[in-house]
C-alpha cells in the first residue's frame, strides 16, 4: 500500500467519497506547489513527522497570497492539509501503542483478568468491528451517521471527537464511547458531553442515547449509569479456539 493509499484508507469511514477524492487531490496539488517553491524536496506523502508537517503548514499559510487563495476557495486546501496531518498524528499514536505497553497498562487495572489478554489491540480496532457489526445491537436498526460529507466514525464536535455516531430509522441518535481497559468510569463524563452536544447541535426534537462499550465494566460505572436513563453499558466478549484439521494423506 502506498502512502497515498494509506491516507485514503484512513479517511474511508470518516468522510464521503467526494470529500475523500477532494482531499487527496488537494494534497497532490499542494505537494507540487510546495516543491516548485522549494519548501519541500519531496512529496508530502513522503513526510511522516506531524511536527514537520505542522511547520510546513504554518510557513505556507503565513504567506498572504497563499492564505488569501485558500480563503477564496473556502479553505478546501488547508482543510485537506489538516486532514493529512491528522492522519500522520493517528499513525504516530498507533506506533506508541505497542503490545507490551498495552499489557503493562492492563495490569494496572483492578478489574483485569487473565481472559482479557485477548482484547482488541487498539480502540480503533474495536470501533471498526462495531461499525461493521451494528446489526448485533438487535434492539435498534442502526446505521453509521452520514451527512453527505462526514461520516460517524471519530465524528468531530466542539467538545472532542465522538468514537461512533449512529442513527436509527426514527432519526434518533446513538453515541458510542469505546474503551479497552482504561478509564471506563471516566468514559461516562465524556459520553455525556458528546450526547449534550449532539442534542443541542444536531438532534433538536429527536432522542439521544449513549452506549459505553468495553470488555468489562467495574462496579463504579454500573452505579453511575443508574442515574442516567439514556446511557447503557455493553460488554463485548472475544473467543479464541484452535481446531485441528484432518490430514488428507495418511501413512
The pLDDT score that the predictor gives to residue 221 is: 87
Alpha helices for the chain (secondary structure H): 3-11, 17-36, 50-61, 64-72, 76-96, 99-107, 123-132, 187-198, 219-225
Contacts (Cβ under 8 Å, ≥6 apart) of 169: 141
pLDDT in tens, 2-11: 999 999 988 8
- For residue 141, report the phi and psi dihedrals to the nearest 5 degrees: -95, 85
The pLDDT score that the predictor gives to residue 186 is: 79
pLDDT in tens, 102-158: 333 333 333 333 333 344 545 667 788 888 888 877 677 899 999 888 889 888 888
DSSP code of 74?
T
Cell of 11: 479517511
With a cut of 70, list the residues of the chain below it in pLDDT: 95-124, 138, 180-183, 238-241, 250-251
Q: Which residue do the cell numbers 481446531 mark?
A: 243
The pLDDT score that the predictor gives to residue 250 is: 61
Tell me the pTM: 0.59
The pLDDT score that the predictor gives to residue 95 is: 66
Chain Cα centroid distance, residue 195: 17
User: Which 3 state secondary structure label does DSSP give 163?
Assistant: strand
- CA angle, 124 as apex, 231 and 14 as ends, to 5°? 90
Options 3.50.50.60, 3.40.50.2300, 3.40.50.720, 3.40.1350.10; which CATH number does 117-235 get? Answer: 3.40.1350.10
The pLDDT score that the predictor gives to residue 168 is: 93
Amino acid at each position: 500500500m502506498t502512502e497515498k493509499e494509506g491516507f485514503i484508507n484512513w479517511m474511508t469511514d470518516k468522510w464521503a467519497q467526494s470529500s475523500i477524492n477532494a482531499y487527496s487531490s488537494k494534497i497532490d496539488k499542494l505537494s507540487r506547489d510546495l516543491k516548485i517553491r522549494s519548501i519541500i524536496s519531496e512529496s508530502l506523502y513522503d513526510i511522516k513527522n506531524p511536527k514537520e508537517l505542522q511547520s510546513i503548514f504554518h510557513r505556507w499559510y503565513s504567506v498572504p497570497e497563499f492564505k488569501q487563495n485558500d480563503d477564496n476557495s473556502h479553505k478546501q486546501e488547508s482543510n485537506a492539509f489538516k486532514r493529512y496531518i491528522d492522519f500522520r498524528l493517528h499513525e504516530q499514536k498507533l506506533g506508541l501503542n505497542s503490545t507490551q505497553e498495552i499489557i503493562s497498562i492492563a495490569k494496572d487495572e483492578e478489574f483485569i483478568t487473565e481472559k482479557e489478554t485477548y482484547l482488541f489491540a487498539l480502540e480503533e480496532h474495536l470501533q471498526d468491528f462495531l461499525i461493521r457489526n451494528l446489526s448485533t445491537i438487535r434492539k435498534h436498526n442502526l446505521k453509521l451517521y452520514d451527512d453527505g460529507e462526514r461520516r460517524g466514525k471519530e465524528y468531530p464536535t466542539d467538545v472532542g471527537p465522538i468514537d461512533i455516531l449512529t442513527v436509527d430509522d426514527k432519526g434518533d441518535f446513538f453515541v458510542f464511547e469505546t474503551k479497552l481497559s482504561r478509564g471506563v468510569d471516566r468514559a461516562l463524563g465524556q459520553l455525556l458531553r458528546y450526547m449534550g452536544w449532539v442534542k443541542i447541535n444536531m438532534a433538536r426534537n429527536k432522542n439521544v442515547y449513549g452506549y459505553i462499550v468495553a470488555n468489562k465494566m467495574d462496579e463504579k460505572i454500573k452505579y453511575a449509569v443508574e442515574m442516567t436513563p439514556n446511557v447503557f453499558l455493553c460488554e463485548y466478549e472475544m473467543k479464541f479456539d484452535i481446531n485441528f484439521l484432518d490430514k488428507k494423506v495418511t501413512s
